Amino acid sequence: MKKVWDRVGIALSSACVLHCIAVAFLPLFFPALEAYTHQTWVHMVVAVIILMTSPLAFVPGYRKHGLSWIGLLAFCGLFLILSSIILENHFSDQVTHLISIGGSLLLVLAHFKNIQHSHRHHHQCC
């Protein structure tokens, strides 16, 4: 069940990256979409879901493999995602989307490593 949360985290973080890229580029090709592509509430909802589901993957993963650097990587990703939301009204959309993309990519990497090391640890013990 623990790997399910890593897969959910990968899906959510990947969706975040795709959303940020789409929001940055679609209005360039379809200017009429600009009014609909940037909704702060969407970012807040996704961030809350990511914040709620990430511990469900990383806490059991840490208990299994004991690698704190994976948790630190996840924390940095979460920090960047939250920072991008907080900075939304203070910086351009391009800057905040780059910060969010960076955070999401760090989370994807952390989830992959969590799966990889949990799997590796499982085979070493049993």
User: What confidence tens digit (pLDDT) does each residue in 18-67 have?
Assistant: 887 887 777 777 777 666 666 778 788 888 888 888 888 888 888 888 89
Rounded to whole angstroms, the Cα distance separating 46 from 54 reads: 12
- The alpha carbon of 66 is separated from its chain's Cα centroid by a whole number of angstroms, namely 21
- Is pLDDT larger for residue 121 or for residue 119? 119
Q: What's the CA gap between 16 and 108, in Å, rounded?
A: 10
What is d(CA 104, CA 106) in angstroms, rounded to the nearest whole number? 5
Whether the predicted pLDDT of 121 surpasses 60? no
Asked if the model's pLDDT at residue 96 lies above 60, the reply is: yes
Find out whether 46 and 16 touch, Cβ atoms under 8 Å.
Answer: yes
pLDDT at 122 over 70: no
The residue type of 117 is H
How far apart CA 87 and CA 108 sit, in angstroms, is 22
What was the pLDDT predicted at 120? 66
d(CA 73, CA 76) in angstroms, rounded, equals 5
> CA angle at residue 1 from 8 to 54, to 5 degrees?
40
For residue 82, give both structure tokens.
């939250």
